[in-house]
């Protein structure tokens, strides 16, 4: 069970995008792609067969999962834990102990 999942609201803890907030778009092992965070410029060649135009495009790059924390109901960052509850594994916020509603 992953602690961070697609659709979670997170905040960046370290790096050039510190304190930026966004939604998780994709999880790839220990890396996550967060909307509007760690954006890089990518130079794209034109490809007339596909109908793509050339130029400089903004691309969202992955960030390590240890550099983000989930937001609680009040908007504060919190780490995620996993515990057994009624025979099922559930995610909970370490700061408040509240159960995270899975989407």
**Would you list the DSSP string of 70-94?**
EE-TTS-EE-EEEEEETTEEEEEET
Q: Are 63 and 34 in contact (CB under 8 A)?
A: yes
pLDDT one-digit tens code per residue, 1-45:
689 999 999 999 999 999 999 999 999 999 999 999 999 999 999
**81 Cβ partners below 8 Å, 6+ apart?**
3, 91, 92, 93, 94
What values do phi and psi take at 65, rounded to 5? -65, -25
For residue 103, what pLDDT is reported? 52
Identify the structural domains of the chain with CATH numbers, from first to last.
9-73 (2.30.30.30)
Closest CA to 20 of 8, 7, 11, 32: 11
Distance CA 58, CA 60 (A): 7
What pTM did the predictor assign?
0.84
């Amino acid at each position: 069970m992953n602690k961070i999942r697609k659709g979670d609201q997170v905040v960046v803890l370290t790096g050039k995008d510190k304190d930026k907030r966004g939604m998780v778009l994709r999880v790839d092992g220990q890396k996550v792609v967060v909307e509007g965070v760690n954006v890089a410029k990518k130079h794209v060649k034109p490809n007339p067969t596909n109908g793509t135009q050339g130029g400089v495009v903004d691309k969202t790059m992955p960030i390590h999962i240890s550099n983000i924390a989930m937001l609680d109901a009040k908007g504060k960052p919190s780490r995620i834990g996993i515990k057994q509850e009624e025979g099922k594994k559930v995610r909970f916020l370490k700061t408040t102990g509240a159960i995270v509603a899975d989407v």
